Amino acid sequence: NHTMYHCDLVRGGGGSPTTAPCQTGGAPSADFIRHEMTEAEAILRAGTGQNPQPYWRPPYGSVNAGVVNAVASVGYTKTFMWDIDTIDWKPVAQGGPSAEQIAAKVIGNAGDGSNVLFHLGGYETLDALHLIVPALREQGYTVTSLSDLLN
């Protein structure tokens, strides 16, 4: 789960789309945070038939004890962060990275246990993966999903 509207759960604001109902002017309430999680969960369950609990990733990596407690109260007890952010959500035309730049960043910074942040439908992601996966395998790494890693 990654929340319904990608709000900054610590500082408020943010959000996607830009019309998202993210609270501004301070930290969102625990009720707001729980609603962000449960609303997204309902869509994930309906679309996949699977339960996303207990795993979640905080939007913007913005997390503190209050957020952790709020999401845990609705079943999300495993918070996952990343150590390499590909910025693949940003198109090249708007200053985002090319596939080659994404690949160079991942290949140059990967280490044992690295968690690389990609987005479904990210710009340049598929082309970058065609470069990344063979290069990491050549370096002796095994590329896997979070689900496979945890099971």
**Predicted local distance difference test score (pLDDT) of residue 146:** 75
pLDDT of residue 102: 98
- Residue 122's CB is within 10 A of a number of other CB atoms, namely 19
Distances in Å between the Cα of 42 and the Cα atoms of 5, 34, 36, 50, 118 are 13, 12, 10, 10, 23
Rounded to whole angstroms, the Cα distance separating 71 from 30 reads: 8
Is the distance from CB of 102 to CB of 128 less than 8 angstroms? yes
Q: What is the pLDDT of residue 61?
A: 94
DSSP 53-81: TTEE--GGG---HHHHHHHHTTT--EE--
* Residue predicted with more confidence, 88 or 119: 88
Tokens 């945890």 belong to 150
Answer for the pair 106, 86: CB distance below 8 angstroms, yes or no. Answer: yes
pLDDT in tens, 21-45: 887 778 999 999 999 999 999 999 9
For the question of whether the overall pTM of this predicted structure is more than 0.85, the answer is: no
14, 50 Cβ separation under 8 angstroms: no
